[in-house]
């Protein structure tokens, strides 16, 4: 049975994953922290924490809150900075033989371009995920992902300095996710990730003030799944690049729904924080489903619900 997927067919290097299971940015650190916690050779790929030009401290505490059917996070972009990632993390990824995609974020187009330029030629890195959808930072972040022209400009400029597969991660907060998806695809994105977190908040009723230090945070977990599913399905009808689904995936059934809606791969975030065995269980469940249904390749399922509804 073939569960391998190609996420960047238009890119010279390509991005072939041994399976469609990925760990979402911000929920798997820089991978090395996971050794001994989970089998790091099981997922098809990891997307590391959003990385900026200079190291970042992130937002004030509290930064996490549980809400009904999900969680809020306002970590912000606490990260080691691109130079440390290149010198300290990439060689380890290369030695371990894990597929890592670097999630990058900047305060302006020039910063995104500079980060991508520095990554060029670095061994151990399989692709770039352009984070134009982080709701938890003061400058940059999600504002770049709300306007089709701005999103396309960053994509185009980054594409000019990189030969790595370029994935653009979209925000559910855009007035029209379809417009952003179309614009960044035309600008050269090799694949799209849908979706990042949705802006939300919680109030501490005893202290009579916002619970999170940053006031608002990003909503993730099961509550996000139907929203993400509709966005993947609608985008699959519009663009011809591979889609990577993200948002509330915690079971094989969830993953299969997204694959049928047009996703070539799925990212698991919040569910991995709850149980590090979940990605492995999802992969086992996907394989069992393919076997039960006598489907020889996962590629035969990608987008079948889109085709069947036409
Ligand atoms: C604690 C935490 C940190 C996150 N950090 C990032 C980040 O640095 N960059 C990014 O693009 N997305 C980040 N995300 C968003 C996730 O990658 C993912 O898009 C989102 O959580 C939805 O998926 P889920 O419902 O499976 O968690 C973060 C999410 C969480 C929960």
- pLDDT tens figures, 230-282: 999 999 999 999 999 999 999 999 999 999 999 999 999 999 999 999 999 99
pLDDT exceeds cutoff 70 at 218: yes
Task: Examine residue 17 and state whether it is found in any structural domain, yes or no.
Answer: yes
Active site residue 134: yes
Task: Examine residue 231 and state whether it is found in any structural domain, yes or no.
Answer: yes
Task: Examine residue 182 and state whether it is found in any structural domain, yes or no.
Answer: yes
Residue 264, ligand 1, Cβ within 6 A: no
pTM of the model: 0.97
Q: What is the CATH number of the domain that holds 45?
A: 3.20.20.70
H/E element, 267: strand 263-268
Which of the following is catalytic: 134, 246, 277, 304? 134
Q: What is the pLDDT of residue 136?
A: 67
| Partner residues linked to 23 by β-bridges | 46, 268
Residue 3 Cα to ligand 1 middle (Å): 25
Q: What is the pLDDT of residues 167-205, one digit of tens each?
A: 999 999 998 999 999 999 999 999 999 999 999 999 999
Q: What is the pLDDT of residue 271?
A: 98
Task: Examine residue 210 and state whether it is found in any structural domain, yes or no.
Answer: no
Task: Examine residue 70 and state whether it is found in any structural domain, yes or no.
Answer: no
Q: What is the pLDDT of residues 16-54, one digit of tens each?
A: 999 999 999 999 999 999 999 999 999 999 999 999 999
Residue 27, ligand 1, Cβ within 6 A: yes
Please give the tally of structural domains in the chain.
1
Distance CA(129)–CA(136), nearest Å, equals 17
Task: Examine residue 298 and state whether it is found in any structural domain, yes or no.
Answer: yes
Task: Examine residue 13 and state whether it is found in any structural domain, yes or no.
Answer: yes
Judge whether 82 and 51 are in contact, CB under 8 Å: yes
Distance CA(282)–CA(275), nearest Å, equals 12
Task: Examine residue 63 and state whether it is found in any structural domain, yes or no.
Answer: no
Return the SS3 of 102.
strand
pLDDT exceeds cutoff 70 at 139: no
Q: What is the pLDDT of residue 239?
A: 97
pLDDT exceeds cutoff 80 at 141: no
Domain span including residue 246: 5-58+77-199+220-308
């Amino acid at each position: 049975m073939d569960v391998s997927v190609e996420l960047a067919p238009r890119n010279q290097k390509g991005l072939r994953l041994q399976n469609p299971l990925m760990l979402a940015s911000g929920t798997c650190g820089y991978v090395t922290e996971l050794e001994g916690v989970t089998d790091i050779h099981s997922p098809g790929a990891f997307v590391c924490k959003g990385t900026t030009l200079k190291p970042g401290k992130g937002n004030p505490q509290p930064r996490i809150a549980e809400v009904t059917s999900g969680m809020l996070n306002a970590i912000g972009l606490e990260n080691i900075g691109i130079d440390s990632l290149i010198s300290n993390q990439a060689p380890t990824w290369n030695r371990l033989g894990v597929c890592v995609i670097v999630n990058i974020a900047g305060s302006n187009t020039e910063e995104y371009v500079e980060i991508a330029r520095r990554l060029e030629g670095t061994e151990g890195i399989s692709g770039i995920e352009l984070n134009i959808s982080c709701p938890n930072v003061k400058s940059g972040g999600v504002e770049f992902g709300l306007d089709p022209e701005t999103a396309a400009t960053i994509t185009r400029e980054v594409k000019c300095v990189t030969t790595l597969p370029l994935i653009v991660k979209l925000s559910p907060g855009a007035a029209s996710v379809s417009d952003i998806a179309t614009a960044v695809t035309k600008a050269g994105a090799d694949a799209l990730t849908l979706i990042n977190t949705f802006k939300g908040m919680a109030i501490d009723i005893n202290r009579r003030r916002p619970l999170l230090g940053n006031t608002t945070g990003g909503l993730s977990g099961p509550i996000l799944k139907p929203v993400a599913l509709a966005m993947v399905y609608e985008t699959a009808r519009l663009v011809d690049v591979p889609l990577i689904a993200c948002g509330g995936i915690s079971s094989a059934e969830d993953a299969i729904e997204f694959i049928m809606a047009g996703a070539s791969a799925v990212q698991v975030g919040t569910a991995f924080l709850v149980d590090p065995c979940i990605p492995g269980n999802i992969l086992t469940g996907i394989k069992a489903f393919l076997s039960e249904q006598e489907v020889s390749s996962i590629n035969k399922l990608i987008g079948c619900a889109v085709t069947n509804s036409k």
